[in-house]
Amino acid sequence: MFFTYLRRELRRRRKAALVVASGLALGIALVIIVSSVSSGMSKAQDKVLESLYGLGTDMTVTKAAAAPGSGSGERPKFEFDAKDSDDDETQSTDRVMVQGFQTLASSTVDKVGKQDGVAGAVGGLSLSVMKVDGQFKRGEFKQEGGTGQGGGRGPGGGGSSQPQGEVRGGGASFDVNSYTVYGTDVTQQDLGPLTSSKITSGRTFRTTETNAAVAVADSAYAKEKTLSTGKTVTISGTEFTIIGVSTADSGDAAANLYIPLQRAQTLSDSKNKVTTVYVKAADSQKIDSVKATIQKNIPGTTVTTSADLADTVSGSLSTASDLASSVGKWLSIAVLIAAFLVAGLLTSSAVSRRVREFGTLKALGWKSGRVTRQVVGEALVNGLMGGVLGIAIGLAGAYAVTAVSPTLTAELGSSGGGGGMRGGGLMGGGGPGRQSASKALDIALTAPVSLSIILVAVVLAVAGGLIAGAFGGWRASRLRPADALRRVE
């Protein structure tokens, strides 16, 4: 009887049911779209941060670069051999410098790894290389056509004792090429910037190549310099064989070339030194406490977490994320509340128009509880229909956002803690390589819809139906059979 009456009443009041369901659907669809877009923005920010410090890294430990004028910095100096012959011979020299930060002792890596809450720690050395090469060319002396006055060249000739003319041509032409090198611990390759790149050609390092003259080249740099596996590059007089080419998952790579840490320390005269310690926390919910522990037990260092770095992300990605998390969230909540209220009021209004019907049913023996259950059942079905419609609209909206994939810009600035989480390559500055005060990355926005969002939509649909049913049920429970008799004409 309950379902038969329910089906008949919903069919008879199709327009009213559709209005209630549509109002709930609008609110639920907006919640799905805003939630999926916020999720997409969160993933986009995670992608940006991973491109900076590497997959799996929760924080970095560095030592801020010395202040300008402190005397610790050294200007690059280049020396060339002076030769009397072979004027056209190319002169070439390069200078390898630590980039971005002051160095830390390699023992710091072990100290960090022993702190409570640390699951893993690995050191890295960020370098910049400035290479200068070119040629010196000797000028030619061009003598004037005649001799001195009187034609004499001797002391008594009355003429000049020096030939008349000028030096023409000569000079020097040199090219300056700078690039970045990252020294990676080949025995622990699960942390650090190289983890944010995929090997697209060749192979990565072997754990036995701790001091081998091998290198992995970033794909963009390899394309620029026409490098490939098997070719060699020379860094400060040492030839390195390219064993692989890597491609960054997003944004720029941490360095142009990756080499074993021990080789990088030798090239830069930084034996047993690192610039950055990459740390993975045992519990992602306790990153702040791990940070505090490291700062307390290892003084003089700067600990930067992914949350700290996220605060430095600006641009349209940050603006859109703020809008989605603030304006979008409150807008969806306001629309949802309005939809619930409208559904409740419409249901209550429909009950008022059915006074004679419910009064008659009570006169026939229906109790107030049965009438209330009937009204709540109808409202619940309307809510479920609104939920189905809202999920369909929400999925369509999220799919449209993903299909369009609007491009947002993430502007990455200095974190204020002595540098970012890339070992100085992008965030810290300090070397003449690729680093800059900020860097813009373009990120394509998606709107992934997770199962949890769908479950939230179902809960909201049921809640909307129950709220509307509560309005109508309360109204229906107050009706008396006498009210129906007053409406009889």
Model pLDDT for residues 449-459, shown as the tens digit of each residue: 888 888 888 88
* Short-list 27, 9, 138, 124, CA closest to 423: 124
The pLDDT tens digits for 249-279 are 766 677 899 999 999 999 988 899 999 999 9
Spell out the domain ranges in the chain.
2-50+316-487, 64-68+91-139+173-300
Work out the percent of the chain whose per-residue pLDDT is above 90.
18
C-alpha torsion sign, points 286, 288, 290, 293: negative
In whole numbers, what is the pLDDT of the chain averaged over residues? 74
Structure confidence at residue 206 as a pLDDT band (50, 70, 90):
very high
Please indicate whether residue 156 or residue 18 has the higher confidence score (pLDDT). 18
Structure confidence at residue 99 as a pLDDT band (50, 70, 90):
confident
> Rounded distance, CA 465 to CA 485, Å?
30
* Short-list 278, 307, 305, CA closest to 290: 305
Structure confidence at residue 204 as a pLDDT band (50, 70, 90):
very high
Inform me whether the pLDDT recorded for 202 exceeds 90: yes
Inform me whether the pLDDT recorded for 171 exceeds 70: no
Residues composing the chain: 489
> What was the pLDDT predicted at 322?
59
Burial of 4 per CB tally in 10 Å (0-12, 13-18, 19+): exposed
The pLDDT tens digits for 332-355 are 777 778 777 777 777 777 766 676
**Cα-flanking dihedrals φ and ψ of residue 274, to 5°?**
-140, 160
Inform me whether the pLDDT recorded for 94 exceeds 90: no
Rounded alpha-carbon distances, angstroms, from residue 190 to 48, 49, 267, 280: 18, 16, 24, 10
Q: Are strands 91-98 and 118-137 parallel, antiparallel or unpaired?
A: antiparallel
Min mean pLDDT across 291-295, 380-384, 408-412 is at: 408-412
Structure confidence at residue 326 as a pLDDT band (50, 70, 90):
low
Spell out the alpha helix ranges (H) of 231-301: 261-267, 287-297
Min mean pLDDT across 28-32, 171-175, 353-357 is at: 171-175
> What was the pLDDT predicted at 9?
67
Pull the structure tokens for residue 107: 């023992």
> What was the pLDDT predicted at 219?
92
> What was the pLDDT predicted at 260?
94
> Rounded distance, CA 278 to CA 292, Å?
16
End-to-end CA distance of the chain: 29
Min mean pLDDT across 39-48, 65-74, 120-129 is at: 65-74
The pLDDT tens digits for 341-394 are 777 777 777 766 676 776 677 777 777 777 777 777 877 888 888 888 889 998
> Rounded distance, CA 464 to CA 460, Å?
6
C-alpha torsion sign, points 414, 267, 112, 102: negative
* Short-list 63, 34, 44, CA closest to 441: 44
